[in-house]
Structure 1
Amino acid sequence: MQNRIELTATVEREDSLRCTPAGLPVLEMWLRHQSRQSAANLERDVVCEIQAVLLGEGARKMAGKMAGNVVQCTGFLSQRSLRNPRLVLHIEHVEFVKG
């Protein structure tokens, strides 16, 4: 079963590129999503901030270019670590949205 998340958001901030002990590039960022959604036949404004992470060559390519831009992300949710259950969006594909 594949449960993919698609999200359009503004990259509020991004950390500096770092590498895992195994040498895998990691780029952490915080996304701000705003939209209007319908639930139970009622319209509501949705605003949230989501921590996200981009790994591998994509992280290396995007480092320093994301903050302040609107992006379309596809990925999956996972807990931050074995000891930290906070949700993080693991980005598998990202592209800039032209505005």
Structure 2
Amino acid sequence: MNHLILTACIAELKALRYTPAGVPAQDLVLEHESQIEEAGQTRQVKAQVRAVAFGAVAERVRKQVVGSSWRFSGFLANPRVGKSVVLHVQEFQPDSTD
């Protein structure tokens, strides 16, 4: 199963674009920071993730403030151009851990 839930803040919002079919698409960059236990040690984790949202979710994402924290859910996929994975955001909600 390819399903990811990530608590992150919006680090960057690109300009809203449209697919050839006319569907709104919002590219963004998410930043995550936390501490996690690994091999008996506490580890500081930082990650920057490229993401994209389509349709109504894109319209909602584009209205959010850069720096605001959210809980994003979706799936990972390779983009048509490039080699790194991109989080396809299917839903997001306020981060309840703030």
- TM-score scaled to structure 1, two decimals? 0.88
Unmatched runs of 5 consecutive residues or more in structure 2: none
In the TM superposition, residue 24 of structure 1 has moved relative to its aligned partner by 1.1
Question: How many residues are matched?
Answer: 97
Task: Verify the 8 A CA contact 1:14 1:64 in the aligned structure 2.
Answer: no
> Does residue 64 of the first structure (1) align with residue 54 of the second (2)?
no
Q: Distance in 1 between matches of 2:60 and 2:36?
A: 33
- Within 1, Cα distance between the matches of 2:84 and 2:2? 18
1:20 positional shift:
0.5
Counterpart Cα distance in 1 of 2:61 and 2:28: 11
Aligned-CA RMSD value: 1.4
Q: SS state of the match for residue 94, structure 1?
A: strand
Provide the secondary structure at the position in 1 that maps to 2:20: coil
Q: How does 1:2-81 map to 2 (within 5 A)?
A: 2-81=1-80
Distance 2:65 2:5 in 1: 17
State the distance in 2 between where 1:62 and 1:90 align. Answer: 12
After the TM superposition, list the runs of 4 or more consecutive aligned residues in structure 1 that deviate by more than 4 angstroms: none
User: What is the CA-CA distance between 1:50 and the residue it aligns to?
Assistant: 0.5
1:94 corresponds in structure 2 to 92
Aligned-partner Cα distance in 1 for 2:7–2:36: 13
Aligned equivalents of 2:20, 2:2: Cα separation in 1: 29
Q: Match of 2:82, as an amino acid? A: N
**What secondary structure, in the 3-state scheme, does the structure 2 residue paired with 1:23 have?**
coil
